[in-house]
Structure formats: C-alpha cells, structure tokens
Amino acid sequence: MDRPPPLDPDNPLAFKPVPVRARHDGWTPERQYRFIDALSRIGLVKAAAEAVGKSPKSAYRLRDRDDAASFRRAWDAALAMGQGMALDCAIERATDGVPEPVFYRGKQIGVRRRYDNSLLRAALSTMDRMAARHGRAKHDRLEYNFRAAK
C-alpha cells in the first residue's frame, strides 16, 4: 500500500495511525497501513506482521494501546476480510479439488483431482462459528438498543 486510505467512514480499512515514537524499525504510519492491507489479504496476524517486518506480539501490543481505537476497528475489519477470502479459497479447494500429478514408473502419465473432505468439514465448521458470532453480535446490539430506549 503506497499511501494511506482516506479517512472515509464507508471504508472499513480507513484508520488514524496510532501515534508512536519515531523509530526506523518501529510502527510507522506507513508500516501500520501496510500491516492492515496485508491482514485484509492474508487473514493471519502472524503472516501480516512478518510481511511488514514486525512480530505478532508487537502488533498485538500496538492494537491494545488506549489510543488505538481506530486501528483496532481497521484490524477487525481487515481480519474478517482476510479470513473470508481464506474461507472461500478453502471451500473452492475442497469442492473443486486440487490437481495432483499421477506417475507410473517415474513418468507423469496424467493428472487427477484430489478432493479434501476434512478441509470442507473445517470450512463448514468455521462458517457455523462465524454465523453464530454474527447472530450473537446482532442480538447484543438489539438488546442494547432496547435497553437504551427504556
């Protein structure tokens, strides 16, 4: 990501960088933007942190700071996007199969598709958890709105 996304309320990845002490190897605003971008594509905190030359532990420390509310919101949105893409990929691999070469006497004689039922079960289980979490969050918002209206 070459430049920060504009602070657009409709852009879930837009955020105000966490103010940190200037260090060449620290969490510069540019590094924070690149981390959120990587997280939105990868869906794994460890891999996204390593992609920007930082440790997952330091990423979580940055996220947990009191002045990081905007960064946390972007993190949550990016993580959901990345995990959604990973889930789509897993379902595609499980249902469409993965090409696998077939060898006979040391020579490749063809290609077959390998289907992975355990990958599909894991993807379906993840979808169930995501649906339950989404439903619970929606229920919590409705209950809060109901109590606030009293």
Residues of the chain with pLDDT under 50: none
Give me the amino acid identity at 3: R
The DSSP result for 15-78, as a single string, is: -PPPP----TTS--HHHHHHHHHHHHHH--HHHHHHHTT--HHHHHHHHTSTT-HHHHHHHHHH
Q: The tokens 């700071």 sit on which residue?
A: 65
Domain borders along the chain are: 1-85, 97-150
Distance CA 78, CA 50 (A): 16
Contact 75, 61 (CB under 8 A): no
pLDDT tens per residue across span 86-108: 888 888 888 888 999 999 999 99
Q: What is the pLDDT of residue 86?
A: 80
pTM: predicted TM-score of the whole model, two decimal places: 0.63
Q: What is the pLDDT of residue 2?
A: 52
Tokens, residue 144: 């809060």
Torsions phi, psi for 2 (to 5 deg): -75, -35
Mapping DSSP to helix (H, G, I), strand (E, B) and coil, where does residue 5 land? coil
How far, in whole angstroms, is CA 84 from its chain's centroid? 7
Question: What is residue 118's predicted lDDT score, i.e. its pLDDT?
Answer: 85
pLDDT of residue 92: 87
Rounded-to-10 torsion of CA 79, 42, 112, 116: -30
